[in-house]
Structure 1
C-alpha cells in the first residue's frame, strides 16, 4: 500500500473510532495493520532521506575540494602570467612568436580605472547614486517583541521532519 493510501486508511480508522458502531476487535486489527505498515513505510522514507543527506554531504565536500583545486590552479596561472610578463618587460620584449603561440604585452582596453580618494561627503550630489532604503529586520523584530505595529508582524515558525 502506498503512503497516501495508508493515510486514507488512517482517516477511516479515525471515523470508526468516533462513530462507536464498530466492535473493538475490528478496530484493534485495523490499527495493527495500518500502524505497522505505516511505520514500515515511514522507516523506508527515513532511510531514503538519510541516504540522500549523506550523498548531499559527500557532494558538498567534493564541491569544496574541487573549488579549492580550481582556486589553486587560477592562482598558479596568474603567477605564471605575471612572471612571464615581468620578464618580457625587463628584457624589453613586448611580442614573442612561437610555432604554437603569439605572446604579447598589451595595454588593457576599456575605461581607465577609477579610484575615489576623497570622503563621500566631499563628492557633489550629482555624482552619487541614490539607494532605496533597506529594512533592518533585527531592529523590527526587537520592536515587535515590545509592541505591535500596523506595518509589520511575525509569522509563526514552520515545521520540519526530524530523523535521527
Structure 2
C-alpha cells in the first residue's frame, strides 16, 4: 500500500495526464479509480488513529481532573490541620519548641506587609494610579466590519480543519 504522500503525487501525475492530451482517457480513469480506493483506505486508517489518540487524550484529561481534585482535597486538609495546630499553639502560648522529629515555631510572616485598598478608585490620588494603554475591543471591530470596510482593520480568511465523525 502506498503512503499518503505517494498517493498525492500519483493524483498530480493523473492531473497532468489530463492536460497532455496524449494519454488514453480509459487508462486515466482506471488509474484514478485504483488510487481513490487506496486513498479512502488510507483516510480510514488515519481516522482510526486520530479517534484513538483523541479518546486517549480525553481519558487522560478526565484523569487529570480527578487527580487535581484529589490533590486539592489533600492540600486543603493539610492547611486546615496546620491552621488548627497554629491556633492551639498560640492559644496556650507555646510558640517555639522541638520534638524528636520536628521543630515548631509560630513566627510573623516576612516580606511586604499586606495592603488593603478601597474599591472606589476616585478616593485614591492620581499619583498612586498606573496609567494603562488602551485595549482593543475586537468584538466591536468585527461588528463594525460586518457593516462597512475601514482602512485600519480587516477580517482574515477563516482557517480550514478536517472533521471526522
Per the shorter chain, which TM-score range? Answer: over 0.9
Is the counterpart of residue 117 in structure 1 residue 123 in structure 2? no
1:91 aligns with 2:106: no
Which secondary structure does the structure 1 equivalent of 2:97 belong to?
Answer: strand
User: Is 1:54 matched up with 2:55?
Assistant: yes
Alignment-derived partner of residue 4 in structure 2 = 3
> Secondary structure of 1:96's partner?
strand
| Deviation readout 1:114-148 (Å, 9 max, x if unpaired) | 10136211211111111111101111111111111
Under a length normalisation based on structure 2, what TM-score does the superposition of the two structures give? 0.94
Cα RMSD (Å): 1.3
Partner secondary structure for residue 154 of structure 1: coil
Provide TM-score, normalisation by structure 1. 0.94
Q: Does 1:134 align with 2:149?
A: no
Q: For 2:119 and 2:51, locate their aligned partners in 1 and report how far apart those are by CA, in whole Å.
A: 56
- 103-112 or 114-123, which moves further after superposition? 114-123
Can you list the C-alpha shifts for 1:57-106, whole angstroms capped at 9, x where unaligned? 01111111111111111111110010000111111110231111001111
* Partner of residue 79, structure 1: 80
Residue 27 of structure 1 and its aligned partner are, at CA, apart by 1.6
**Structure 2 Cα separation of the partners of residues 61 and 35 of structure 1:** 38
Distance 2:24 2:146 in 1: 52
5+ residue gaps, structure 2: none
The unaligned stretches of length 5 or more in structure 1 are: none
* Number of aligned residue pairs: 164
* Higher relative contact order (Cα pairs below 8 Å, separated by 6+ residues): 1
Q: Which residue of 2 aligns with 1:22?
A: 23
Runs of 4+ in 1 over 4 A off after TM superposition: none
Q: Distance in 2 between matches of 1:82 and 1:7?
A: 66
